[in-house]
Structure 1
Amino acid sequence: MTKPAPVLWWVRRDLRLADNPALTHAIASGGPVIPVFIHDDTVSGLGAAPKWRLGLGLEVFGKTLEGAGSRLILRRGDALEVLQELIEETGATAVVWSRAYDPDAIARDTDVKSALKDQGVAVESCAGHLLFEPWQVETKAGGYYKVYTPYWRAVRDDPVAACLPAPKQIAAPQEWPRSDRLSEWQMGAAMNRGADVVRAYACVGEAAALQRLEDFLDGPVEDYKEGRDYPDRHVTSGLSENLTYGEIASRRLWHAGRQALEQGAAGAEHFLKELVWREFAYHLAYHTPRMLTRNWREEWDDFNWRGDNDDAEKWRRGMTGEPMVDAAMRELYTTGTMHNRLRMIAGSYLTKHLLTDWRVGQAWFEETLIDWDPASNAMGWQWVAGSGPDASPFFRVFNPETQGEKFDGKQSYRDLYLKGGEDEEGRTPAEDFYKAIPRSWGITADTPRPDRMISLKEGRDRALAVYKGAKEQG
């Protein structure tokens, strides 16, 4: 009897064994499965922090695969060319992968699928990154949703398939193809000395993600609705990092959240809503890809944003003189993440008090976030700037001072990042910031805190005046 030919599993942002439809599909062929990750242009173009964090994820996932009798093959180059080379080397007759939804990935995948099919290779792209495929959720009129709340109502009771089990063993080929060494790719090179600092704050791999979910469900989910806006309460799940790289499946979070809701956890529904907010971002990015790079509301194209500027550089360095903003920016550089409430405060300050184009902030987050996600990042920035779908209106200007009084009344968050002390894990974020930043910034623990760049009232009044003038001209 002829043995089934190998299947190439093109690994992307699905660094897990459990609930992985692409892997399940590959295994169902009955033949050997060859996992391959390709360092192509979509990887080369990543910012420093997400590329470094992806490298960490690949390292851990490679070890996870070894535990299942498999291994991760690493290749660098054009995706189609790499796959064609591997097909020639291994005799594989099929390629399978999990879908991506950004325009560049869609264009690449479409070309790859067409070319391989022309060669007689079976190709299958699978769901797995989202709960709902963007084209499956439609309004009653047959279009896409432009406002979150109706979208949430449309999907909240939709059935979500059960999670798939993780395979205990993955059939291996008789001979493995050549693989690059991950260390040769130098995926953390742009992090410089910051890599060692941020590593202490990262939570890498499928096992760590599952533990993180268990810890969240063991208590914090109860206080999620009320406590998620307070950065010192530690009631958020932290799972955006793991979702970004597919170290945990979104539907595992959905089912876990639904179960917690049925068991009476007070914050479970809001946790599910935040998960669906991510879905909504992808829904919009798929149907209106301009959202990723341009104003979603085209009437904002003539708004007089400032381009990159010296004030924005002070914002990036956490030297604006606004304690809540500066603490947020230092959290970002030190940990690779930022509490969601602080993302809104820091984003509002940049786009409104400093009148700086939201894309300047978007680019900095793309460079520094280890949970960077193209759809969620663009959606968040356009929401806070007022130029996006279902956005906060431009005249809503977050006041960092009153936000601090409300959500950091004891100043524990600001003190942790601006003065010193240990966090709940015994780490020292304020000291770590000085270890992580470029020496060229010239900022040390002895550098005096700056005065305010602009008074909060003056900044707000200026923003509203510019907005009013733009509306009158429009």
Structure 2
Amino acid sequence: MKDEHTPIIMWFRRDLRLSDHPALTAAAESGRPVVPVFLHDDLVEQLGAAPKWRLGLGLEAFSRSLDGLGSRLILRRGDALAQLQALIQETGAGAVYWSRSYDPASIARDKKIKSVLTEQGVMAKSFAGHLLFEPWTVATKTGQPFRVYTPMWRAVQGRDVPAPDASVTGLLAPAKWPSTEELHKWQLGRAMNRGASIVRPYVHPGEQAAHEHLNVFLDRVALYSKHRDRMDMDGTSNLSEYLSLGEIGPRTVWHRVQQAALMGVSGTDAFLRQLVWREFAYHLMYHTPQLVTGNWKPEWDSFPWNTDPNHPEVVAWTQARTGVPVVDAGLRQMYVTGRMHNRTRMIVASYLTKHLMAHWKIGMQWFDDCLIDWDPACNAMGWQWVAGSGPDAAPFFRIFNPQTQAEKFDPDGTYLKRWIAEGEKSPSDTAISYFEAVPKSWGLRPDADYPAPIVALAEGRTRALSAYESRKSH
């Protein structure tokens, strides 16, 4: 290995923060110069329009945070291994640190990089930080990975979660900084087109904003279990985009919520269960990587889903013109804000995979492109859970009824009015924004008639159940 006084390259990925960051803490405490780096490699290039744009905003915010420490973020584009090798050559670095990723493509990339750099005498060290529990540390009593959520929750809810690291307040600079590319030239928001200006007011990137969101949520966490499914209320944590990009660490969230519980705040377990649901998604993706590429249950490979994304019914769904108000409202919320309420996500997904009989992959890939809080594990598991092909899944025949769901979780129609303009004498600004965000080529206008349902709810349900029964009989 190279001299222990040589610089450390701190390779940032989905961990754009200064606190609760084991890799960065280790680099800072080493006493060695630290070169913060972000690499725009093939995996970044493959991101969908909204998550790539949101990443760009996160990088801007994080770069300012590093500037505040007297450091800087070095940007390079190209093959990750080649760029790291070039930076090692330029800086004389003796080590590369990074936070672990758990999706199959990142694991393959990181294993190769660690192997090559180690052979070349450079320390390549990965750290925890994106999850509460490393996937290989959680197992059933027989040593197997969990396949059902509730037993996993019971297994981990009493486990010790290490306290988050304090925020890094200083980084030793290298004798000479390597060259950097300019973020704006990467054009990470190019594919957003005119939608970027519509979504932008709803996005508050960066670590400071993440902590502010957490503070606001903690003031109402006692109402979480009561309000989290209400589409007309702001009852969720709104932390998903920050956890996705690592602008806040999961250990920080866990301990802040636990502190609230110790102070007598009720209902905190309901939220911690959802935080561990995220862990479950990563647990499954790590142990069964087919989760992100195909049916988790292989017996669903023969199910007669429609796989044509250009089918008229699917196009109507993607354009939020299904004629089912709550489905359209959810999709329109996503186009205007980059997010969608979790209850609505389930309704929207159920409608596509069951009433329309479209493959869950179509929906997953559409969300991959449109969500600013996109997460590889949570998105894949969420779609497969609703579709019936995934782990811990609701049975396929459990079909969400959009109408009754709307009546239960949006009883006064507030959510629908917020996002549906057609037929309203004075539509809301948020409802109008949908028409300003979507492509002009769709030819949509707020003063047009609202469409009739493309598939009657009873008809769609009958069609789905018929296909399910036919599959069972074979």
Matched, 1:359 2:382: no
Q: For 2:318 and 2:399, how far apart are their aligned partners in 1?
A: 19
Higher deviation after alignment, 160-169 or 97-106:
160-169
* Alpha-carbon distance, 1:419 to partner: 2.9
Instruction: Output the amino acid matched with 1:246.
Output: G
Aligned 8 A contact 2:23 2:98 in 1: yes
Alignment of 1:231-246 (within 5 A): 231-246=231-246
Inter-partner Cα distance in structure 1 for 2:471 and 2:460: 17
Alpha-carbon offset, residue 192 of structure 1? 0.3
Deviation (angstroms), 1:257: 1.4
Q: How does 1:96-111 map to 2 (within 5 A)?
A: 96-111=97-112
User: Hey, what's the Cα distance between the residues in 2 that align with 1:266 and 1:210?
Assistant: 21
How far is 1:196 from its partner? Answer: 0.8
Flag structure 1 segments of 5+ consecutive residues without an equivalent: 421-426
Partner of 2:194: 193
Q: Residue 408 of structure 2 aligns with which residue?
A: 406
Asked whether 1:273 is paired with 2:273, we answer yes
Q: Matched residue pairs, number? A: 465
Match of residue 12 from structure 1: 13
Q: Secondary structure at the match of 1:125?
A: strand
1:342 equivalent among 341, 344, 350 = 344
Cα distance in 2, alignment partners of residues 188 and 195 from structure 1: 7
Q: CA deviation at 1:434?
A: 1.2
Residue segments in structure 2 that go unaligned for 5+ positions in a row: 423-427
1:3 deviation in Å? 8.8
Where do residues 142-157 of structure 1 align in structure 2 (5 Å cutoff)? 142-157=143-158
Q: Residue 382 of structure 1 corresponds to which residue in structure 2?
A: 384
1:97 is paired with a residue whose SS is strand
Deviations 1:198-251 (A, max 9, x none): 111112100000000001111x21110011000112011100010000000001
Task: Output the CA distance in 2 between the equivalents of 1:448 and 1:170.
Answer: 59
CA positional deviation for 1:435: 1.2
The alignment status of 1:372 with 2:347, answered yes or no, reads no
How far did residue 263 of structure 1 move?
A: 2.4
Q: Could you report, residue by residue, the CA deviation over 1:249-301 in whole angstroms, capped at 9, with x for unpaired residues?
A: 00111111112222232331111000000000000000000011100011000
Residues 204-215 of structure 1: matches in 2 within 5 Å? Answer: 204-215=205-216
Maintained 8 Å contact 1:225/1:266: no
**Which amino acid in structure 2 is aligned with residue 58 of structure 1?**
L
User: Shift of residue 174 of structure 1?
Assistant: 2.0
- The answer for the alignment partner of 1:302 in structure 2 is 302
Alignment root-mean-square deviation, CA: 1.1
Partner of 1:27: 28
Identify which range, 252-261 or 118-127, moves more after superposition: 252-261
Number of the residue aligned with 1:418:
420
> What TM-score do you get using the length of structure 1 for normalisation?
0.97
Q: Which TM-score applies when normalising by structure 2? A: 0.97
Q: Is the Cα contact below 8 Å between 1:224 and 1:266 reproduced in 2?
A: no
1:169-188 alignment, distance < 5 Å: 169-188=170-189
Q: Is the 2:7–2:92 Cα contact (8 Å) retained in structure 1?
A: yes
Aligned to 1:323: 325
Q: Aligned ranges for residues 249-264 of structure 1 at < 5 Å?
A: 249-264=249-264
Segment drifting more, 263-272 vs 116-125: 263-272
**3-state SS in 2 of match to 1:135:** helix
Distance in 2 of aligned mates of 1:274 and 1:441? 37
The aligned residue for residue 140 of structure 1 is 141
Distance 1:263 1:447 in 2: 53
Contact 1:337 1:370 in 2 (8 A): yes
**Correspondence for 1:227:** 227
Indicate if the aligned counterparts of 1:55 and 1:187 stay in contact, CA closer than 8 A.
yes
Deviation at 1:4, TM superposition (A): 1.9
What percent of counterpart residues are identical?
55
Name the amino acid aligned to 2:366.
Answer: W
Equivalent-residue separation in structure 1 for 2:380 and 2:142 (angstroms): 26
What does residue 397 of structure 2 align with? Answer: 395
Contact 2:229–2:235 under 8 Å retained in 1: no
What does the per-residue CA deviation read over 1:426-460, in whole Å, with 9 as the maximum and x for residues that have no partner? x9321211111100000011221100111111111
Distance 1:203 1:209 in 2: 8
Q: Secondary structure at the match of 1:200?
A: helix
Find the residue that maps to 1:8 and give its secondary structure: strand
3-state SS of 2:26 partner: helix
The 2-side partners of 1:428 and 1:238 are apart by: 21
Mapped to 2, the partners of 1:332 and 1:265 lie a distance apart of: 32
Quote the offset at 1:185 in angstroms.
0.2
Query: How many Å separate the matches in 1 of 2:255 and 2:379?
Result: 25
CA contact (8 A) 2:75 2:181 kept: yes
SS at match of 2:247: coil
Distance 1:175 1:400 in 2: 60
Q: In structure 1, what is the Cα distance between the partners aligned to 2:262 and 2:218? A: 13
Q: Does residue 1:463 correspond to 2:458, yes or no?
A: no
